[in-house]
Amino acid sequence: MTSHKSLGALRMADGLFFCDSWFLPGEGPFTVLAKLAIANVLNANRICRVFGVRSTPTRDASPHGRSLLHLEWLARSRSAPLLAAKLWSRSLLSLSPRWGQSVASDRALRYCPTCLSMGYQSSLCQIEGLVRCPQHNDLLLDHCKKCNAPTPPYAVTAEAFDEPLVCIYCGNAYAPIWASVRGDLFQKQVDDESAYCHLGEWFGRVETLNIQWPDSVAWLADPRAPAQAAKANKRIQMLVTLSNIVTWTEPAALRRSEVWVGRWPLSSGAPQTHARSGADLDEITRARVAIYKSIRRHHATRIGMKVQSHIKGDRERLIEINEGMVMPCNEHVNPVAHGFLAWRLRFESKVGEEGRTRGLSLFSVLLFWPVDWSASDVAWGHFVYRCLLLDIKTALELNKSLKGLDCNRPSDFSAWLEVVGLWYHRFGSQTRPWPDSLSTLRLPAAVGEPGDICIITAPSATLSLGTRNEC
């Protein structure tokens, strides 16, 4: 070990040397643990032994078994309780137990080069929707600047801690301070970390807001999209959405995303179908069917289609798949018209049959959206309209995937079927009644008030990635 002078004011805890200055307010557990490892000559295995846990070989688990985002494995330490508690308090999950897991990942260490050159990494850099350091505006990196190789997982692994913050591929340190002159490491400090503190406070505000988001699990969770990409996309859109709901002080640090959030006061905290008489439900049905029809009429005119009761025909261009969903035979079917038809099939039950509302009857789960609470008809109209925009957008993407394929050509049929099989559920309601990209949450208000409802739409992984590498 280098001289104690260069290590700063070292103290002992749990039989290990540590220094109070390593525990700056915003410093994350990765660099603190790296300093502990260097000062006490520990590798990844010995770190695990210190905390009384076995090192884990599971590289691809998510979260990683020795994750530094999810420090539960460390919090139970009996052999080094003081240091375990100090490290736990550095973790993102201690800052935001509810949202930390939803927005951050331990897939790879993410760092700001300027912060790291001062021996520092914040756990907030693991938030995937953050592209720049809020303090220095540097792009956050998840690779070695010298050789471009990926950084290790944000976890206690041999590649991360046997030689901390040094690239295992080229041997260069991610920042000079982490190179062989170890003594310097402990002398430098971050000059100002107020931006990280503001970000931490912002998380605190989001955490106390008590957002009710029952639909968040199914949101952006397209089962046919590549799983890792879909999860990463969701973490990004989650942060952008939260920053839309609670004002964010550093918008330049955020990844750009076309998230749309609409907000309306709820009419009641109870479901629309509860505590109402049959006459009330009839009234809601009449109003909503009229809203639906006006949106339908307007768009049919724009597209140049007739609103006719039977919409599944036209076998030349559209193939009916089970449960009434139609898919285009080839790329020459107007995708806007296809999206419009798919939207109608999503909403309209008994298509072509005589119902009690002059032939038009809407599926009740959509008619009484938002299901868990009661929203105004205005909010419902926006919900219906956003579903239409998303179905048209999805149809435009499907159209690109069908390029050159025609199901009426025998040589194309199996390839056509493969594409359609991949896209079919994105229009229908087998997985959920409304499109994958749309979700709804509730912001509770003062006691006695029902609060507000937010409709959110965000780009799904499918639409931003196209169809390649899907399985």
Structure tokens at 402: 């069908």
For the purposes of burial, counting CB atoms within 10 Å of the CB of 183, is it exposed (0-12), middle (13-18) or buried (19 or more)? middle
CB 276, min distance to Zn ion, A: 55
Q: Is 149 or 217 the residue whose CB approaches Zn ion more closely? A: 149
- Cβ atoms 140, 130 nearer than 8 A: yes
Closer residue to Zn ion in complex, CB, 133/458: 133
- Distance, CA of 169 to CA of 50 (rounded, Å): 27
Which tokens belong to 277? 């008489």
Structure tokens at 365: 């789960």
Amino acid identity at 458: A
Q: What token pair was written down for 45?
A: 């295995």
Give the separation between CA 329 and CA 76, rounded to whole angstroms.
58
Q: Which is nearer to Zn ion, 173 or 454 (CB)?
A: 173
What's the min distance (Å) between Cβ of 233 and Zn ion?
25
Question: Please, which residue, 93 or 199, has the CB nearer to Zn ion?
Answer: 199
Secondary structure of residue 330 in the 3-state scheme: strand
> Which conformational region is residue 381 in: left (phi greater than 0), alpha (psi within -120 to 50 degrees), or beta?
alpha
CB closer to Zn ion, 112 vs 398: 112
CB of 119 to Zn ion, least distance (A): 12
Stretch that binds Zn ion, among 94-102, 160-168, 280-288, 368-376 (CB under 5 A): 160-168
Q: Would you say 302 and 322 are in contact if contact means Cβ atoms under 8 Å apart?
A: no
Report the candidate in 144, 152, 114, 154 with the shortest Cα–Cα distance to residue 132.
Answer: 114
Rounded alpha-carbon distances, angstroms, from residue 197 to 204, 284, 335, 458? 10, 48, 48, 28
Tell me which residues in 335-394 interact with Zn ion (CB under 5 A): none
Amino acid at 159: E
Q: Is the CB of 171 or the CB of 313 nearer to Zn ion? A: 171
- For residue 443, the minimal CB distance to Zn ion (Å) is 32
The interface mask with Zn ion, positions 78-117, x = CB under 5 A, is ----------------------------------x-xx--
Q: Cα separation of 131 and 150, whole Å? A: 16
Provide the minimum distance between the beta carbon of 121 and Zn ion in the complex, in angstroms, as a whole number.
Answer: 9
Q: For residue 47, what are its two tokens? A: 């770190």
Closest CB to Zn ion among 189 and 267? 189
Interface of this chain with Zn ion, residues 161 to 220, rule: CB under 5 A: 167, 169-170
Question: From CA 386, how far away is CA 376, in angstroms rounded?
Answer: 16
Kindly state the smallest distance separating residue 118's Cβ from Zn ion, in Å.
8
Closest contact distance (angstroms) between CB of 157 and Zn ion is 16
Rounded to the nearest whole angstrom, what is the least distance from the CB of residue 18 to Zn ion in the complex?
23
CA-derived radius of gyration, the chain:
27
Find, among 129, 122, 127, 110, the residue nearest to 174 by Cα: 110
Rounded to the nearest 5°, which phi and psi values hold at 187?
Answer: -90, -30
Closest CB to Zn ion among residues 115, 211: 115
Q: Tell me which amino acid residue 408 is.
A: N
First to last CA, the chain: 51
State phi, psi for 62 to the nearest 5 degrees: -135, 115
Q: Which is nearer to Zn ion, 170 or 378 (CB)?
A: 170
How near is the Cβ of 169 to Zn ion at its closest, in Å?
Answer: 5
Output the smallest distance, CB 137 to Zn ion, in A: 8
- The number of residues that bind Zn ion (CB under 5 A) is 13
**Which is closer to Zn ion, CB of 122 or CB of 457?**
122
CB 172, min distance to Zn ion, A = 5
Nearer to Zn ion, 133 or 211 (CB): 133
Q: How far is the CB of 167 from Zn ion (least distance, A)?
A: 3
Task: Please list every residue from 26 through 65 that binds Zn ion, using CB under 5 A.
Answer: none
Cα 241 versus chain centre, distance: 9
Tokens of 57: 């070989």
* Region 128-147 residues binding Zn ion, contact defined as CB under 5 A: 133, 135-136, 144, 146-147
Question: What distances in angstroms separate CA 239 from CA 82, 103, 215, 366, one per listed residue?
Answer: 32, 6, 16, 27
Indicate the residue among 34 and 420 with the shorter CB distance to Zn ion. Answer: 34
Interface residue list for Zn ion (CB under 5 A) = 112, 114-115, 133, 135-136, 144, 146-147, 149, 167, 169-170
